[in-house]
């Protein structure tokens, strides 16, 4: 067991004033949040005070995390390390038994997911990039966690084909009602997101054991892969289940602008790269515009881009007036966006958290203690305290 050398001494707290802002009026099919450069839409909003506590430092590109039933945390580092973190002492153990990981570009060890019935079955799911022939692709495996070892590993899914590009792997995982949802990016090639014979740019759905569900939208249809649940995605790195409706929400990177929050529908086409609210880096139109028949509009799009990461719904009462919020992590804007969400899924006000910390927020999760935890890219595990 190793102790972060300065964990106790470096438990630092900073009180932050967090400004709220209002959303623009909803359009017929999407809601556009306040643009940061749109002075006419700005307003003072309310103020909220929270404390940010650094729990661990000097992490190596932390990417994903999830909680065990006893409150311990499983945390991934992109170079290929999974850590078991004990709250209170904030000691860490490296987990053995991981398969080889291709830590290249944006690839590496990515998300980790604890089975909802872990106390009975000990299953842990994880996604990572692997080298196949001359290319890289996304793989999802599961294994049983025994102490600090992964045993009985099963490789459940490998995205096809592999590509030489080292970017846009996705890759978030969600288990809901016995189904495993997997997000895979377009691998930086764009066109495969519209190709139903390619896993890139898709949200995929398997059973928790890795089989293809009989009611997947493309089962039995020629010219389509049966694992596909939805398509036309650019690089989705956030996924969460709405606590009331049960709908699956996904956050994905746009290019320059055009980050999206989408509600998944089976078989739906979310448009990339044919339609987008973003543009080429440095300027220039992508695709055919922002709308096209047969292609879904986002629930929310962000201009300028947030570089969205992990998302989670907050339904607890630890933070005053935060009930029924969507938390969206941001790497470019170095913050967490809190969106008020009504029971019917409509969006209310937006509050911008942590923007003056200057840390890229890769993932955000609500812990079993009702507190919000976040991974600051390349460095820290932090916690927000009221």
The DSSP element (H or E) to which 118 belongs, if any, is helix 118-121
Half-sphere CA count of 236, side-chain side, radius 13 A: 33
d(CA 283, CA 287): 13
Token look-up 């967090």 returns: 18
Q: Taking a C-beta distance cutoff of 8 angstroms, is the pair 68, 118 a contact? A: yes
Using omega within 30 degrees of 0 as the cis cutoff, is the peptide bond preceding 133 cis?
no
Q: Taking a C-beta distance cutoff of 8 angstroms, is the pair 150, 97 a contact? A: yes
Catalytic residue selected from 115, 168, 233, 253: 168
Closest CA to 337 of 23, 13, 15: 23
Q: Which residues pair with 180 in a beta bridge?
A: 175, 206
Closest CA to 299 of 331, 341, 256, 334: 341
Those residues whose C-beta lies under 8 Å from the C-beta of residue 371, and which sit 6 or more positions away, are 318, 383, 384, 385
Those residues whose C-beta lies under 8 Å from the C-beta of residue 337, and which sit 6 or more positions away, are 33, 306, 327, 328, 330, 350, 351, 352, 353
CA angle 182, 272, 375 (to 5 degrees): 45
Q: Which residues pair with 260 in a beta bridge?
A: 252, 301
160 to 128, 210, 227: CA distances (angstroms)? 14, 15, 11
Token look-up 């999760």 returns: 365
Tell me whether residue 168 is one of the annotated catalytic residues: yes
Q: Which residues are catalytic?
A: 168
């Amino acid at each position: 067991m190793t102790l972060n050398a300065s964990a106790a001494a470096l438990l630092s707290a900073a009180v932050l004033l967090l400004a709220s802002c209002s959303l623009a009026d909803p359009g017929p099919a999407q809601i556009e949040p306040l643009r940061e450069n749109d002075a006419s839409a700005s307003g003072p909003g309310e103020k909220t005070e929270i404390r940010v506590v650094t729990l661990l430092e000097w992490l190596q590109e932390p990417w994903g995390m999830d909680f065990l039933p006893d409150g311990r945390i499983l945390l991934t580092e992109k170079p290929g390390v999974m850590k078991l973190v004990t709250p209170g002492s904030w000691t860490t153990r490296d987990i053995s038994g991981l398969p080889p990981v291709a830590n290249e570009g944006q690839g590496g060890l990515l998300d980790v997911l604890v089975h909802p019935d872990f106390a009975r079955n000990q299953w842990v799911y994880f996604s990572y990039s692997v080298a196949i022939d001359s290319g890289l692709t996304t793989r999802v495996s599961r294994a049983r966690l025994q102490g600090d070892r992964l045993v009985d590993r099963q490789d459940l899914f490998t995205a096809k084909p592999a590509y030489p590009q080292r970017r846009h792997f996705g890759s978030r995982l969600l288990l809901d009602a016995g189904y495993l949802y997997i997000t895979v990016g377009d691998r930086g090639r764009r066109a495969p997101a519209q190709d139903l014979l390619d896993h890139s740019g898709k949200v995929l759905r398997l059973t928790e054991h890795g089989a293809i569900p009989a009611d997947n939208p493309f089962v039995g249809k020629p010219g389509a892969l049966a694992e596909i649940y939805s398509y036309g995605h650019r690089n989705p790195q956030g996924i969460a289940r709405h606590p009331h409706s049960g709908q699956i929400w996904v956050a994905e990177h746009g290019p320059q602008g055009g980050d999206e929050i989408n509600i998944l529908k089976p078989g739906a086409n979310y448009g990339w790269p044919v339609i987008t609210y973003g543009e080429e880096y440095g300027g220039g139109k992508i695709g055919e515009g922002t709308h096209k028949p047969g292609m879904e509009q986002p629930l929310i799009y962000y201009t300028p881009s947030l570089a969205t990461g992990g998302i989670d719904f907050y339904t607890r009462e630890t933070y005053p007036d935060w009930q029924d919020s969507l938390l969206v992590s941001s790497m470019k804007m170095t913050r967490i966006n809190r969106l008020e969400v009504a029971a019917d899924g409509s969006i209310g006000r937006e509050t911008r958290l942590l923007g003056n910390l200057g840390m890229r927020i890769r993932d955000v999760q609500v812990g079993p203690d009702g507190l919000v935890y976040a991974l600051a890219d390349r460095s820290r595990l932090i916690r927000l305290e009221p």
